[in-house]
Structure 1
Amino acid sequence: MEHLGTLVAGQSACSLRLSSHVSSYENNDPNLVFSPLSFQVALSLVAAGAAGRTLDQLLTFLCPGSDPNSSRTNLTDVFSKVTCLALADGSKLGGPRLACANGVSLDKSFQLNRQYETMVSAVYKADIKSVDFQRKATQAVRKVNSWVEKATKGLIKELLDPSFVGPTTVFILCNAIHFKGRWAEKFDPSRTTKDDFHLLDGKSVKVPFISSQKGQYISKYTDFSVLRLPYNQGRDHKRQFSMYIFLPNSNDGIRNLSEKLYSGPEFLNQHLPTEKVAVSKFMVPKFKISFEFEGSEVLKQLGIDLIFGGDRGDDGLSEMVELESHVAYPLVVSGIIHKAFIEVNEEGTEAAAATAVIGYGCAPTIPQTENFVADHPFLYLIREDMTGVILFVGHVMNPAVDA
């Protein structure tokens, strides 16, 4: 197994690359929240049942820079050793409440490959259910949606529309993530005031801004600033979660800054604030965002096309389901649905995401003070700092647009 630091660096690189394409492809919405981690875990469930060139393509994408001979092992290690650590619930120790759940819904006329079933049960702790897509598709979708809603504490409702499945549907693979963290230092609601947030079109909207006179983790650079807002750690000394806000100096600088941030983990790691500074003016808008998209085209743009049936001569997803000899068509992915939610206020952050893959046959004192006024479009992410795992990524263009 490769060093965990190398594995996390690869996972982060994949997260940022995914986020970049989602951000540019889904540019009709003013605000964005996306969990690259949920998307990656769902694709990992697909990779566990893939073979041939389809598997190679997934491993190259999910484990960039890994030795091809050990990529499959590295992928399971990223989930079992790194992701599980980052997503373990810390609420009993006073830290953030976290949950990560995986599910496999398989049409009752099919049977999972024994090795695949063992893998998703033992490593991914997946909840495996038998459903009837052929005759009771609506009921089957209702079961999947209910499972997702429960796993995300009610934040993600109706992940799938019944029209997404039908008689040819064989499986649905799901991942759901829930995060709820309190700031290490809560903000006083009485200091929250409404002020102008400047939009890209030159207009402005009045929105509530969180404010404080306490020192903050801020680092300043030539054309942007970075704020770190740590979440309460409690007695969970193995992990530290933080939200990072990347704020361009100019009101319209988010595009250039996003290109830098999404370029790779090196830029991110080199610009994380480590010391508190005194602040003279500090304002961050409250915001609530819901976002959903279908990810097939994003993956195809990234070169992941074989899971959709790009090569009929390839082994494809042959290691997922036991196909009887009379079944002439191969398994392919027909769609990938992702939904996410985030709310940021004086208390902290609550966020959730779910991804479904549908398949069918075929502290030192600083003398000067700093300002951090996020009154124009900015980028943000939620990260576990000790492992470097990125949970959520997004941008705020207009906080007045409520979820």
Structure 2
Amino acid sequence: MKKVLVPLLLSALIVVSACTRPSYGQELKSDLPRQTPDVPAAEMTELVSGNTDFALALYQLLKEEGGNFFYSPYSISVALAMTYAGANGETERQMADTLRFTLGQAKLHQALNALDAAVNSRGQGAKGKDDQPFSLKVVNAIWGQQDFQFLNSYLDLLAANYGAGLRTLDFAADPEGARKTINDWVARETEKRIQDLLPPGSIKEITRLVLTNAIYFNGGWLKPFEENATTDGIFNLLNGNPVTVSMMHQSETLGYAAGSGYQAVELQYDGGELSMVIILPEVGGFESFEDTLDGVMLQHIIGDLRNGFVNLFMPKFEFESSFSLKSALSAMGMPVAFTDAADFSGITGQPNLLIADVVHKSFVAVDEAGTEAAAATGVIMDLTSAPGGDPVTMTIDRPFIFLIQDIATGAVLFTGRVMNPLE
């Protein structure tokens, strides 16, 4: 499934974030090497809480398009944080409010640096799905127009906190060649799961900068489903129509919670450091539950998970999503960043850049062995002109919401919903 949500200027900036490393273009290393800072636990908690609030606020807008969808709020946050590093004035304030960046510039980037280091350390020795090793990789890069001047302070900040060195391309002379170079990088870093992130025409002669963040995930279940236990089952769509799906089954001790109008189950990945949390609203209550879901509610649900014996039935599914986030982010409170009034003077020394669009693509596949997931985000900018001992049965036979989280930090890496496993 693919779902698309829906100023003549002197130059452009594109920031790209992809959810999995080669070297494209000439890379100019900063004098400031990346080092993992010592961030207080309270600041890390504040960062993750804000990111979760942003993830669910964005969910409320993306769901209006209908159908299945999947995205990486972590990827989007990192890409926009690298852009935010150059924002000033009202642009900076609106971006901070919309993205729930409450720590301030200096602390924010250090906290994201520390969170990135924590995420990249997961899964040592663990297994992935389909006989592959466990993989959770996050990497950043900067793509700049050759001979264009960027502030050293901005480049140093990104190098020190995001490990991103400047790679030079010639957008002015060969915009399509530059677009292909970046798209090829994204495809390689996501094991070819994200193709053609930047659509034709998105890179122009006036493009001057592209920031990339890549994350790729392949995790095997800590307790895999037996393939011979998978049988045809019924999944009831929101309109009441049944469809036949491949329904997996296992009876295991799993994290489980039940509250007013929902059940939730947690499936850990091998190594016990990441997990998928699935939230199943009660029959007839999906839309009302979804409308009220926010960061506070999600943290409450996850906090209520307790180990118990669960007879779990859940469908296999695989799909991809594609969005333009410009309208959603504007509606969430940062419209000025997309106008001539934008102030990204922290990038070039003058307020001559604006965000032209934010694009996002993602992929997820869930089966008996585990999960493979990838996502990519591009920010395109132009210059201005169960508790107890009794078994619990949970049959996921209707639309549900799911997320993939880093257990230790609580960071939500991916979020989505399944309305029809066959789409």
Partner-residue secondary structure (3-state), 2:163: coil
Q: Does residue 1:31 correspond to 2:68, yes or no?
A: yes
Distance in structure 1 (CA, Å) of the matches to 2:126 and 2:285: 40
Counterpart of 1:255? 287
Aligned residues with identical type, % of pairs: 30
**Structure 1: tracts of 5 or more residues without a match:** 235-239, 324-328
Distance in structure 2 (CA, Å) of the matches to 1:331 and 1:7: 27
Which stretch shifts more, 190-199 or 207-216?
207-216
Which stretch shifts more, 389-398 or 217-226?
217-226
Cα drift, residue 89 of structure 1: 4.8
Cα-Cα RMSD: 2.0
Counterpart of 1:354? 376
Partner-residue secondary structure (3-state), 2:140: strand
Distance in structure 2 (CA, Å) of the matches to 1:141 and 1:220: 47
Instruction: Please point out which of 96, 114, 118 is paired with 1:81.
Output: 114
Q: Does residue 1:180 correspond to 2:218, yes or no?
A: yes
What are the residue-to-residue correspondences of 1:216-231 with 2, within 5 Å?
216-231=254-269
TM-score under structure 2 length normalisation: 0.84
**Structure 2: tracts of 5 or more residues without a match:** 1-39, 129-133
Question: 8 Å contact 2:123–2:270 — kept in the other structure?
Answer: no
Instruction: Please point out which of 326, 334, 337 is paired with 1:307.
Output: 337
What are the residue-to-residue correspondences of 1:293-372 with 2, within 5 Å?
293-309=323-339, 311=341, 316-321=343-348, 330-362=352-384, 366-372=388-394
Question: 8 Å contact 2:126–2:270 — kept in the other structure?
Answer: no
Question: 8 Å contact 2:116–2:138 — kept in the other structure?
Answer: no
Counterpart of 2:3? none
Cα drift, residue 276 of structure 1: 2.8
Cα drift, residue 15 of structure 1: 2.0
Which contiguous aligned blocks of 4+ residues in structure 1 show a shift greater than 6 angstroms?
Answer: none
Question: 8 Å contact 1:173–1:358 — kept in the other structure?
Answer: no
Instruction: Please point out which of 252, 255, 267 is paired with 2:297.
Output: 267
Counterpart of 2:61? 21
Question: 8 Å contact 2:265–2:305 — kept in the other structure?
Answer: no
Once the two structures are superposed, residues 188-233 of structure 1 have per-residue CA deviations (whole angstroms, 9 ceiling, x without a partner) of 0000011111111221111101101233322222321001101111
What are the residue-to-residue correspondences of 1:53-202 with 2, within 5 Å?
53-64=90-101, 66=102, 71-92=104-125, 96-202=134-240
Counterpart of 1:47? 84
Question: 8 Å contact 1:254–1:379 — kept in the other structure?
Answer: no
Distance in structure 2 (CA, Å) of the matches to 1:84 and 1:355: 20
TM-score under structure 1 length normalisation: 0.88
Counterpart of 1:382? 404
Partner-residue secondary structure (3-state), 2:287: helix
